[in-house]
Homo-oligomer: A and B are copies of this chain.
Amino acid sequence: MTSGKRVTIADIARLAGVSPGAVSFALNGRPGVSDETRQRILAIVEENHWQPSSAARALVGARANTVGFALARPARSLGSEAFFTDLIAGIESRLSENKVSLQLRLVADIAEEMEVHRQWRSSNQVDGIILIDPRDDDPRSDRIAALDARAVMIGSKPSPDGSVPSVWIADDEVAETLFSYLAALGHTRIAYVAGPAELEHTRLRAEVLDRMAADGVSGEVITTDFSPARASAVTRSLLSARPRPTAIVYDNDVMAVAGLRVAQEMGRTVPRDVSIASFDDSVIAGLINPSITAMTRDTFELGEQAATLLLQQIVAGANLPSAQGPTPTLTARESTAPPASDS
């Protein structure tokens, strides 16, 4: 049907009997053409299926209708975490509504990530950038400012003024909710099997547990590399110790499942002998036997909110304030109960 040649603004102009400039004015809703002419042009555009060339637009510095996301994580490990798929799906879902595409790129480290940001910016390939995994003294924030790019950081707290605004989840509140729930059930010895120590949320959650010593809860924090193997080993030694914890909280659902299995292999009944909970929820956590108590966070919505903030900033052409993301809620399931009176 429609053969090779692409329909350009010049074609439309010829058909409408006006100049290319006039067509551009009409299309972009700016003054310079009469309403009558505008309607005629728009009709012809419609009729001939004209599509703007994003390359040409990008060249003159207009919108690229694309947002970039460079991810500095090991590619092989991404799949085991539903987090990223949900996040990306959420981001994309909001972007799609606005006919904006997502440019995804896996990079080795922060240095390469920043290099990619520069390329994207300098060639006008993206209108905005999404950042994740904030760290202390993050070099990316300054770089983004130097590039004069719009961006959002997905993190654990509001950004300081002048740096990249964030969409954040209050990890301390999340920890407060889960640990308090266990304490209210009567647990006084709680172990927290965490991720790597350098992650911000690990620190925030551990601090909450520490503070609960005031309420008579003795907490123990063990950091891991997130691997199920480590989780199994840690669980085994926790349950062999004396006195042993009556509740174990894991940083994610995969580790919790691994821990649950170890407990069962050691002959403990969950939740009678030990309660188990996770900071991360998933479909599986609710299906397993016993189902696992977890903090449910709406990662999809987190992605949507980040995309929304970014799009708003792009339209405004300026930074906007940080925004709090969806608040995780406690989903109590079968794996938690008051501790057995004897222990």
Residues in chain A within 8 A of chain B (CB atoms): 1-2, 4, 6, 51-56, 58-59, 64, 66, 75-76, 78-82, 84-86, 88-90, 92-93, 96, 101-107, 118-119, 122-125, 146, 148, 228, 254, 257-258, 260-261, 264-265, 282-284, 287-289, 299-300
Inter-chain contact A284/B103, CB cutoff 8 Å? no
Instruction: Pick the most buried of A6, A79, A299: most chain B CB atoms within 10 A of its CB.
Output: A79
Least CB distance, A143 to chain B, in whole angstroms: 10
Task: Find out whether the CB atom of A90 lies under 8 angstroms from the CB atom of B103.
Answer: no
The reply to whether B104 and A102 contact each other, CB–CB distance below 8 Å, is: yes
With known contacts A96-B107, A102-B105, A261-B289, A254–B284 Cβ distance under 8 A: yes
Q: A104 touching B105 by the CB < 8 A rule?
A: no
Given contacts A59-B53, A261-B287, A289-B260, contact A86 B79 (CB under 8 A): yes
B123 and A55 contact, CB distance less than 8 A: yes
- Nearest-neighbour CB distance to chain B for A57, whole angstroms, equals 8
Q: Is the CB of B106 within 8 A of A53?
A: no
- Determine the residue in chain B with the shortest Cβ distance to A107: B96
A106 in complex: contacting residue of B93, B123, B148, B282, CB < 8 Å? B93
Chain B residues within 8 Å of A119, by CB: 51, 54
* B90 touching A75, Cβ below 8 Å: yes
Report how far A125 CA is from B58 CA in the complex, Å.
Answer: 11
The residue that A92 contacts in the complex, of B90, B105, B123, B265, with Cβ under 8 A, is B105
Is the pair B82, A89 in contact by a Cβ cutoff of 8 Å? Answer: no
**B288 touching A257 by the CB < 8 A rule?**
yes
- The answer to whether A79 and B287 have CB atoms under 8 Å apart is no
Query: Which B residues are in CB contact (< 8 Å) with A84?
Result: 85
